[in-house]
Structure 1
Amino acid sequence: MTTPSTSLQKACRLLRALSDTRHTRLTDVAAAAGVDKASALRLLETLVAEGLVERDPDTKAFSPGPEWLTLQSAAQRRFDLRPVVRPALIRLANAFEDSAILSVPSGWESVCIELRLGTFPIRANYLDIGSRRPLGVGAGSLALLAALPDNELETVLGCIAPSLRRYPRLNADVLRRHVEATRERGYAVLLDVVVERMGGIAIALPDANGYPLGAISMAALNERILEREATIARALHREADAICATWRGRAPVPTRTAPAPRTAATDKAA
């Protein structure tokens, strides 16, 4: 992660950190932004005065302020995948009883911006709206990474290398292999990497030039993904094709055929 060198850069990093609901305490926000606590407090107090951040007088927790929400609303009116994708997430969560997620790229990170929980008793609930991860960490995030042009992919891998230390089962070489497998099969699968016994399956949502606008994914227990991989993959492809057609304002393209499912043994070999 590049060390921010100006107050404006530091303030922007603090605002990005606050988009993740896990970061509300000064210590957590400062650490996530890579800013020392003294500078973070000074800048956050300025942002509070400008209405971009709020601070609870009792808990001292920080959260987005009314001015930030106004800016967010204006931005979403220009470019917001959520209204197009929500029906697909509802259908996927209902059909498979597991969590359906919409993620979008933000720099070299992936951000969860919409989520529909399934009804299966054991839920993959380690993501919340606003959660951020380095690209490649998680199935949706991996789908976004794999959809990038090769030169941009290598740049991203260089940027996220320090962040990958938090994920002992991942490094740049492992991610390159996962990217290759994702491109070959046409969708991403990542198991037992971020959370033990949990995983995900995902597909990117490309724009007219093939650049990823976002990714839709299903998160569940590993065995629930492996047992139904081909079926889930077909459903993701179908929904992705319809979403992209709607977004581009043209008729849906024919549904692609998902490859045959892998076994647990082949997954470990990958």
Structure 2
Amino acid sequence: MLLPLTPDGQTPVRVLTIAGTDSGGSAGVQADSRTMTLLGVHACVAVTAVTVQNSLRVSDFHVIPPQTVADQVRVVVSDIGIGAAKTGMLASQATIEAVAQVCAEVGIGQTGSIPLVVDPVAASINGDPLLPDSALDALRHTLIPMATVLTPNLDEVRVLVGIDDRTARQAAEALHKFGQRWTIVKGGHLRSSPVSTDLLYDGDKFHEMSAPRIVTAHDHGAGDTLAAATACALAHGYDVPLAIAFAKEWTTRSLQASYPLGAGRGPVSALWRLREAAPLPPR
């Protein structure tokens, strides 16, 4: 399943990523832009932080002034227009609050017409902290309630609500109390299972979405890729369950195409899309 491509010479669907950079090129705005481009979407970027990282770790990061982050969002939406937005690394309480405020101002999120995917990035894939404790309440109570869909992995669920003594359904119910429209609890980090099952919840019904687990040591950027693909599908007018199903299939294919890079974890790869000519599905 692929999103329809825009004919040459016509303006494609636009999606905005509000996230940090990855100097190693595996995650962050680099992973988001790669997925968006290979899905035929024009990627717009509001950079929140510049990281110093490679395949082994994040050794430092510099936070972009929150007003500059908000201004990037404001000028893109007012001139170029977007069909959806996603957030990734937000780095500080002030940035989270600035992003929430500007999203409300320009119509991104539940109070507006532009869908918002919130990927609550709190730590790198290698465990390096990317969000200080002081910012977690701002994330829980200002930005997450604006989300069309929240996409935490199990580690992020644990940080946000505590999951050690809860089932995935209980965790989804606890997360949903923050006020977002849809919650997905990703099962990709539960490596003991031969199947990767994500649980989608709208406050009423649960939807299970499963795929074969791809055994690979190279999964850097998987969460970014899922959130970016979800935003692209939402921008094309897909409803949330279909958008998540599409994004899960895209991420599975990208995991299958992952490759080694440096001495640590390599990235998932959307480059498989360049090697396959597949028919476009009906909408």
Give the TM-score taking structure 1 as reference length: 0.31
Greater helix content: 1
- Higher relative contact order structure (alpha carbons within 8 Å, sequence separation ≥ 6): 2
Query: What is the TM-score of this pair, normalised by structure 2?
Result: 0.30
Computing the radius of gyration over CA atoms, which structure comes out larger, 1 or 2? 1
